[in-house]
Amino acid sequence: MTTSAGSYAPVDAAAPTSQPKKVAYFYDSDVGNYAYNAGHPMKPHRIRMAHSLIMNYGLYKHLEIYRAKPASKFEMTQFHTDEYVDFLQKVTPDNMDSFAKEQGKYNVGDDCPVFDGLFEFCGISAGGSMEGAARLNRGKCDVAVNWAGGLHHAKKSEASGFCYINDIVLGIIELLRFHPRVLYIDIDVHHGDGVEEAFYTTDRVMTVSFHKYGEYFPGTGELRDIGVGNGKHYAVNFPLRDGVDDKSYKGVFEPVIGWVMEFYKPSAVVLQCGGDSLSGDRLGCFNLSMRGHANCVNFVKSFNLPTLILGGGGYTMRNVARTWAYETGRLVGVEMGSELPFTDYYEYYSPDFELDVRPSNMDNANSPGYLEKIKEQVYANLRQTQAVPSVQMTDAPRHAMGQDETLDEAEGRLDDEEADLEKSKDRRRTQREWDRQTAGQDFLDDESEDEEMAEAIGVKPQPGVDFPRRRGIMDSLNPHAPQDDSGAGTPMDDDARSLDDGMDEDEEEVVMPPGSTGGATGMSLDGAADNTSNGETEGLEALVALKGTTGATTGTMNGHSNGSAADRGENGDKQPKLEPDTESSTLLPRPPTGEAGAEQTGDMEIDEPTSALSQATAPPHVSTTALSAAAAAGTVLSKVELTDLEVQAERDAGRSERREGDEEGEAAAEIAEGRVPVA
């Protein structure tokens, strides 16, 4: 059972293996378009890089490539709560401020930021895992691969460790529809806490995790965490220390998985291949090479069980892409050359441009004695498991055969059976019943009794004590990781962009002079009219509002700057229109003249100071002489005074008509009487 210290065998050399009948490969070309935030270590672009290597190595000839339908909101709620999924669907970077309380409740913020397309990204990840599990159930393939999956930290109602939707749990739930026992194996450097928590109380899923433990995210995965209730001894945790190498990892992985297969006898396997256990990872602390990592995939594949292969962590993109491409080749039995083919991302793999991730010279803190002690305890826990659990049992007889029962006993038994039948009915809840059960928003605002009591007695919440800071996945950085400049093109927070970059060349930037407000009526004039004085603009608007002569005013004013309205037909949609405001009581000031007027009017060419005010806009029956005289005298005419002038002009016109009529009548009388000689 045990292995003597220091006698671990090296990693098996790559050799052709028996190729499965079918390998289904799931990839969505949109997955690489999503980005968490500038400078964030999680980069979905690595999936596109791995896919590019897979295609250019020619592995697509041995794969069945599918683009899975993104998981819907209702499919996600098979594990996650309705409120949490609804929040992920609604929140965006534009409205995230209005969801401040929900962000704290669902742990969305630093490690798990809100970014554009968050819900769509989660749908792509979960859809590939669920569709892969469904094809395994139907026997359409022997191995299903979804490198966009493996987000093992997400909880039922909480985001964690860059993970929002736990696609692994959703895939396992799909597998449990056809398989009585499912084995989950996690080789990510971080503990698979989300998956273990989801199946901690059941024996239908055994979770096995090899991870770094001790002052490291997420802080769970101790050796003594073995499950509770029916799930006791069905959670296996193998805590490791820094610097584990290929030999040590192989020496613990293969024996433990062999014992699990012997005792548990799963009918399907899910393998999470987190790439942060590779050497040189930005957030990892292990020292595995590419071949040491792929050895785990090859060993699990050798059991010839329906297997779902998923991605996971991995924050040095060039290493993750090479490893996942290499492991895809091992799954289809193709040995890939060391020289990388040319791809769109060829420069990422400098300076060696080889298909290899080499270990470093970091120290291995996992002594053979420590590893043997952990292996012995794991073996002891596995021996406590029931051999082949969760086997369907036949119904036992309702009562012992050959024994008679009295009438009262029969009535009591029938009553119990009827009560049991009522309790065991499959009640389908309508949407209205679910809405009644869901707590309202006001319920979340209420303080608990403990908080009210603490406030009443003057106890204040202590930062770091009452509300300790969560351990973040980015709290532990690998000081030995090489500088990763592959994301140099990603814009950082201080990369300011000018808001005027997108302005068309033919658009004019309207600059209002100091003190100009565009008139009391809130209307703005285009072109050179914007450069006029505030008082002149108000006067123009007053005349426009008086008689609705918008076209005349606009044509006259714009005629000095942008040409006539007909000449501006192409850009007519860009010119703001003047709307008459009959409620305005704007006054008409005297227009500026002389040098001051020239400075205020800018480049406008005005023949006479009053031409734009009196001649262009005055109604034909209002005396322009009166307006000019008023302007020259410096008087300010209100609307009422302008109306009086208009009435006076009508009276003068009537007197002139009557006077002309009298003169014509008198001339005709003189001709009739012979007082005027007729020519």
Identity at 604, one-letter amino acid code? M
Rounded Cα distance, 79 and 105, in Å = 18
- Which residues fall within 8 angstroms of residue 230, CB to CB, at 6 or more apart? 201, 202, 203
Is residue 45 flagged as an active site residue?
A: no
First to last CA, the chain: 148
Q: For 325-338, give the DSSP string.
A: HHHHHHHTT-PPPS
Nearest to 157 by CA among 71, 75, 78, 85: 85
Identity at 89, one-letter amino acid code? Q
C-beta of residue 264 within 8 angstroms of C-beta of residue 183: yes
Selecting among 45, 80, 152, 153, the annotated active-site residue is 153
Nearest to 190 by CA among 295, 313, 370: 313
Tell me the two tokens of residue 488: 């140099």
C-beta of residue 35 within 8 angstroms of C-beta of residue 41: no
Question: How are strands ordered across the β-sheet holding 182-186?
Answer: 64-66, 23-26, 143-146, 307-310, 268-272, 182-186, 205-212, 235-240
Task: Report phi then psi at 571, rounded to 5.
Answer: -105, 20
CA geometry: angle 68, 72, 78, nearest 5 deg: 110
Q: For 347-392, give the DSSP string.
A: GGGTTT-BS------------HHHHHHHHHHHHHHHHTSPSS-S--
C-beta of residue 324 within 8 angstroms of C-beta of residue 312: no
Rounded Cα distance, 553 and 560, in Å = 12
Q: For 613-637, give the DSSP string.
A: IIITTS-TTS-HHHHHHHHHHT--B
Nearest to 122 by CA among 155, 86, 88: 88
Rounded Cα distance, 233 and 227, in Å = 6
Neighbours of 306 (CB within 10 A): 23
Among the residues of 221-289, which ranges form H helices? 246-264
Q: Helix, strand, or coil here: 208?
A: strand
Neighbours of 446 (CB within 10 A): 9
Tell me the two tokens of residue 380: 């002891």
Active site residues: 153
